[in-house]
Amino acid sequence: MFLLKVISDGKKFSEFKQLGIEIYLILHSFRKGLITLKYAIGIDLGTSGTKTVLFDETGNVICSATAEYPMYQPQNGYAEQEPADWYNASISTIKTVVSKSGIDVGDIAGIGLSGQMHGLVMLDENNDVIRRSIIWCDQRTARECEEITEKVGAKRLVEITANPALTGFTASKILWVRNNEPDNYARCRHILLPKDYIRFMLTGVYATEVSDASGMQLLDVANRCWSYEVLIKLGIDKNMLAKVYESPEITGFITKEIAALTGLKEGTPVVGGAGDNAAAAVGTGVVKNGRAFTTIGTSGVVFAHTSEISIDPKGRVHTFCCAVPGAWHVMGVTQGAGLSLKWFRDNFCQAEKDTAKLMGIDEYYLMDKEAGTVPVGANRLLYLPYLMGERTPHLDPNARGMFFGLSAIHTKKDLLRAVMEGVAFSLRDCMEICREIGINVSDMTACGGGGSSSLWRQMLADLYACPVKTLASKEGPALGAAILAFVGTGVYDSVPAACEAIIKTDKEQQPIQENIPVYESYYRLYTEIYPAVKAQYSKLAEL
């Protein structure tokens, strides 16, 4: 891999003759074209758009393209998308990266797919889409979740699927269509997840893989197969579901028609791929015990790898199969992470926005600098980041944000730091549940927009009491999907081996030892606030 990195960095061959004749001969072979670099494409089907990236086998980006599409909200709480938009975006972006890269398409070892989880795609007997896809953030299925819990049993549901019934998951969406659109349900012959619909269009194969299938709430997560018990109790025909593969396994091959549309070579392998967070884990090297990543986007995620299945009986975190065969991941989600800082910026930081515009810099950089002048604990001010309710550890849609301890001494800078610390406390909540169910983390990577803040990373390092690093590559899910393609086609022997060769650390922040006990005191107080006001949140929701 060192040699491949040397070549990809464009070093002169003469600089490396001193390394020995064998290395020189290998380099000479590359120069003469006797040894060829392999490439892989990672397709990341997101909610706002699809990003397709072509990587070489060292993880370098050769070419990338993105195409956006809309989301439809026909009623309050509904969220839908057109599968045709996903398909058109995938075809156009593949065509772009293939044509602009200038490489021989025969050197593309394979294609990996990543994408938004939990969406419902229904096909009829002619493989035509029956209705728009009901996607992950749709909230219409509360009654169906009650139906699932009643039919399967709350305890048994968690034992099998590793999660309680949730409105975002696919099973409740299937029941909603059956309950509310019986004609559409009667026409249904195939049920696919969003990225797996793209797989079908590329290969003609009905297939899924364990990480994405875990989010349907129809999978026996421990045994990595469809649960006959759940399917029978819910009355869902197993024949409508796709075959389940492991993430690096080859599931199909590019058809002649798709090759003509995109410029790909017919027969190019397409591997299982992974759901977006599972693919991001591969793209950040979180593929071994002790490793985890924290994402601070609109929401916040703590994602930890485990070689032994660990299920929270209270359902406060999700346990899914991960993209490493025979392993799992545990994921906690806090709803209002980066959203809290954006809310504060939009409502209270016009001066910072104006100054940043004049200076040609990011307003978040100025906000970081201001918050950095405030001591740990924000001068005895705490913030609960429940602007959108909460998932982990409090599955409570009625929870709301709060400043606790506000006094006349506090300034905008104190509130700003309190918001950032409150988000970090909520992510520590997720970490605490991981520890509670036996998953200990010693290696943490920070991702997402918030991960670019050195101050936020320092807060996390101090609260987690372990180093927090960032990575050289920012491609995340697309890189993870491509790595799975490299593994499935034999370029690398295993997912951990591929990540070891490809993933590189950028920055690393060590915990500041004197901050750890101070943060611990504030965190313990933070954990006491929600239980003290939980009943009042419910009363507020009824007003």
pLDDT digits (tens, 9 = 90+) for 519-538: 999 999 999 999 999 999 99
Least confident of 226-230, 300-304, 517-521: 300-304
Total residues found in the chain within this entry: 543
The secondary structure of 254-280 as a DSSP string is: --HHHHHHH-PPTT-EEE--EEHHHHH
**Nearest residue to 243 via CA among 166, 181, 190:** 190
Between 337-348 and 412-436, two packed helices, what is the crossing angle to 10 degrees? 170
**CA–CA separation, 322 and 360 (whole Å):** 41
Contacts 24+ apart (CB under 8 A), 520-524: 522/376, 522/377, 522/382, 522/421, 522/425, 523/425, 523/428, 523/463
**CA–CA separation, 375 and 372 (whole Å):** 7
Structure tokens at 348: 């209270």
User: Hey, is 502 helix, strand or coil?
Assistant: helix
DSSP H or E stretch at residue 403: strand 402-404
pLDDT in tens, 163-190: 999 988 999 999 999 999 999 999 999 9
Give the strand pairing for 402-404 and 250-253.
Answer: unpaired
What residue ranges do the domains of the chain occupy? 1-35, 36-277, 285-471+513-543
Residues 285-471+513-543: name the CATH superfamily. ATPase, nucleotide binding domain (3.30.420.40)
pLDDT in tens, 93-123: 999 999 999 999 999 999 999 999 999 999 9
Using alpha carbons, list the distances in angstroms from residue 366 to 107, 204, 362, 456: 46, 51, 7, 13
pLDDT at site 473: 85
Structure tokens at 411: 């300034």
> How much is the average pLDDT of 61-78?
94
The catalytically annotated residue of 56, 138, 220, 276 is 276
**CA–CA separation, 537 and 184 (whole Å):** 39
> How much is the average pLDDT of 358-372?
95
User: Hey, is 532 helix, strand or coil?
Assistant: helix
pLDDT in tens, 330-363: 999 898 999 999 999 999 999 999 999 999 999 9
Kindly give, in sequence order, each residue whose CB lies less than 8 Å from that of residue 364, ignoring residues fewer than 6 positions away: 341, 345, 449, 453
Structure tokens at 219: 């999978």
DSSP H or E stretch at residue 470: strand 468-471
Domains 36-277 and 285-471+513-543 share a fold: yes
Using alpha carbons, list the distances in angstroms from residue 145 to 126, 155, 206, 231: 30, 14, 27, 15
The secondary structure of 204-246 as a DSSP string is: S--EEEHHHHHTTT-EETTTTEE-HHHHHHHT--GGGBPEEE-
* Phi, psi torsion values for 103, nearest 5 degrees: -90, 165
Please say if 9 is a catalytic residue: no
> How much is the average pLDDT of 249-258?
98
pLDDT at site 389: 87
pLDDT at site 63: 97
- Chain-wide mean pLDDT for the chain? 92
pLDDT in tens, 6-36: 444 444 333 443 444 444 444 444 444 446 7
Kindly give, in sequence order, each residue whose CB lies less than 8 Å from that of residue 369, ignoring residues fewer than 6 positions away: none
* Phi, psi torsion values for 133, nearest 5 degrees: -70, 130
Count of H helices and E strands in the chain? 20, 24
pTM of the model: 0.86
* Phi, psi torsion values for 120, nearest 5 degrees: -110, 115
Confidence of residue 388 (pLDDT cuts 50, 70, 90): confident
**CA–CA separation, 415 and 272 (whole Å):** 45
Using alpha carbons, list the distances in angstroms from residue 246 to 206, 210, 272, 274, 499: 14, 6, 6, 9, 17
CATH of the domain spanning 36-277, picked from 3.40.605.10, 3.40.50.720, 3.30.420.40, 3.30.70.360: 3.30.420.40
**CA–CA separation, 473 and 495 (whole Å):** 17
Check: CB of residue 297 under 8 Å from CB of residue 388.
no
Between 154-161 and 142-152, two packed helices, what is the crossing angle to 10 degrees? 90
